[in-house]
């Protein structure tokens, strides 16, 4: 009989999962939800860890419960449960929850993030157990690993396991939250700086100016930058007058207006950006208002872009805003600054299919 790992209660497993998979981790919700904690607890209970030749079936998760974890956790009982998972006392889930455990937690969350391995040579339709915790991941649930040592080990595991894009998102989001209590210094393309009030909206606005603009605009200028409570942090009167733009408090205005000067007058483009920390994306109504401002300055719709900027695509405000986003606009995430999501309004051949 293989030596079984020491057990952690489900609450501690849940706490460690939130530490191991910080904000920015792909499919984080599937890796830290209640069912994920139950799943990892079940792996540990039966000892299904890489190298032991013990494998988990989702039924091991749904038939487990606190009664067995707390009062029937001797090695013989745990080994017996691995072979024949029978419910004892109050169970965590009913058998019809197996699909959530298998499809969402394991296949969509833990396997893609390198936390779980799958047994080879088992037919897809087979009911045989096939999953085990990857050994380096399982080591993070050693009860003797605590405090700073646990945090350091979790970061080392992520650096060795997660893909570079995921790590970049995590670092970006960790930096945003670590500094939320401090004023935000924004450096404009021309070298000027502005201090914005602390908070996530200011962090996203900073990222738009410092990360989005130089990546997607060839020669950017910040025409307008506002904060909450209708406070204007920056306004370039020279360019606004030159472009004949009427930017007044009685109008529907975005959080930022950028100008791309391009290489000639024919390349000029206006970019309207809404920063969304909680609410306020570019809706169809707001997009029409922005296009009206641009048209008064002689800008055709083809030379106008409407951007909704979020901190990260896994945030709840993204899901909340999705139904109201305007077609024809773009969505940008500060945690993935080199990517841009286009909401294509007109049908056409898929990119890459021509």
- Picking from 289, 281, 288, the residue whose alpha carbon sits closest to that of residue 204 is 281
Q: What is the DSSP string of 304-323?
A: EEEEEEES-TTSHHHHHHGG
Residue percentage of the chain with pLDDT more than 70: 91
How is residue 78 written in tokens? Answer: 């745990």
**Band of pLDDT at residue 101, cut at 50, 70 and 90:** very high
- Residue 193: predicted pLDDT: 86
Residue 290 is predicted with a pLDDT of: 94
Angle at which helix 10-20 crosses helix 147-161, to 10 degrees, equals 50
- In this prediction, residue 176 has a pLDDT band, given cuts at 50, 70 and 90, of low
The angle formed by the CA atoms of residues 155, 104 and 156, to the nearest 5 degrees, is: 10
pLDDT for the residue numbered 99: 87
Q: Read off the pLDDT of residues 36-93 as tens digits, 9 standing for 90 and up.
A: 999 999 999 999 999 999 999 999 999 998 888 877 788 999 999 999 998 877 888 8
Would you say residue 175 has pLDDT above 90? Answer: no
Per residue in 291-347, pLDDT (tens digit) is 999 999 889 999 999 999 998 888 889 999 999 999 999 999 998 888 899 998 777
Q: What is the mean pLDDT of residues 166-187?
A: 65
Tens digits of residue pLDDT in 113-164: 889 999 888 887 788 899 999 999 999 999 999 999 999 999 999 888 876 6
pLDDT at 180: 54
- pLDDT score at 278: 83
* Chain position carrying tokens 């995921």: 166
Statement: residue 265 has pLDDT above 90: no
Kindly provide the b/e burial profile for residues 16-55, where b requires at least 16 CB atoms within 10 angstroms of the residue's own CB.
bbeebbbbbbbbbebbbbebbbbbbbbbbbbbbbeebebb
Q: Domains in the chain, please, with CATH?
A: 10-162 (1.10.10), 184-342 (3.40.1350.80)
- pLDDT tens, position by position, 196-248: 888 888 889 999 999 999 999 999 999 999 876 556 778 888 899 989 998 88
**Segment 251-269 mean pLDDT:** 87
Q: Which residues contact 350 (CB under 8 A, 6 or more apart)?
A: none
Work out the pLDDT band at 259, boundaries 50, 70, 90.
very high
Tell me: pLDDT of 181 over 70. Answer: no
* Average pLDDT taken over every residue of the chain: 87
Measured distance CA(300)–CA(239) in Å, rounded: 18
- Torsion sign across C-alpha atoms 9, 90, 92, 77: positive
| pLDDT attached to residue 354 | 46
Comparing CA positions, the residue from 256, 314, 318, 248 lying closest to residue 281 is 318
pTM, rounded to two decimals: 0.61
Please, which residues bridge with residue 342 across strands?
Answer: 330
Q: What is the DSSP string of 250-278?
A: TS---SEEEEE--SSGGG-EEEEEEE-SS
Residue 333: phi and psi, rounded to 5, are: -120, 125
Q: Which of 225, 222, 237, 226 is closest to 270 using CA atoms?
A: 222
């Amino acid at each position: 009989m293989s030596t079984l790992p020491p057990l952690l209660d489900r609450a501690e497993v849940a706490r460690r999962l939130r530490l191991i998979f910080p904000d920015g981790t792909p499919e984080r919700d599937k890796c830290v939800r209640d069912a994920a904690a139950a799943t990892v607890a079940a792996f540990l209970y039966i000892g299904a860890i890489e190298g032991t030749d013990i494998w988990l079936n989702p039924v091991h998760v749904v038939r487990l419960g606190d009664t067995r974890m707390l009062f029937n956790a001797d090695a013989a009982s745990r080994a017996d449960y691995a072979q024949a998972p029978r419910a004892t006392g109050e169970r965590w889930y009913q058998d019809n929850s197996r699909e959530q455990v298998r499809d969402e937690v394991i296949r969509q969350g833990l396997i893609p993030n390198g936390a779980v391995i799958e047994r080879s040579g088992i037919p897809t339709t087979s009911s045989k157990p096939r999953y085990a915790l990857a050994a380096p991941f399982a080591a993070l649930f050693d009860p003797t690993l605590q405090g700073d040592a646990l945090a350091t080990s979790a970061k080392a595991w992520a650096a060795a396991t997660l893909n570079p894009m995921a790590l970049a998102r995590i670092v970006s989001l960790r930096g945003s939250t670590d500094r939320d209590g401090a004023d935000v210094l924004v450096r404009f393309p021309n070298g000027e700086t502005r201090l914005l009030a602390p908070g996530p909206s200011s962090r996203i606005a900073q990222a738009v100016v410092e990360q989005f603009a130089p990546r997607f605009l060839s020669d950017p200028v910040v025409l307008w930058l506002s904060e909450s409570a209708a406070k204007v942090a920056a306004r370039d009167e020279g360019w606004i007058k030159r472009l004949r733009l009427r930017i007044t408090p009685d109008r529907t205005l975005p959080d930022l207006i950028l100008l791309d000067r391009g290489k000639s007058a024919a390349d000029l483009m206006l970019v309207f950006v809404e920063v969304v920390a909680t609410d306020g994306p570019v809706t169809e109504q707001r997009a029409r208002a922005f296009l009206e401002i641009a048209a008064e300055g002689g800008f055709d719709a083809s030379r106008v872009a409407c951007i909704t900027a979020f901190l990260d695509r896994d945030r709840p405000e993204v899901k909340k805003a999705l139904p109201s986003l305007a077609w024809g606009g773009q969505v940008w995430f500060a945690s993935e600054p080199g990517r841009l999501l286009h909401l294509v309004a007109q049908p056409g051949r898929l990119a890459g299919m021509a």
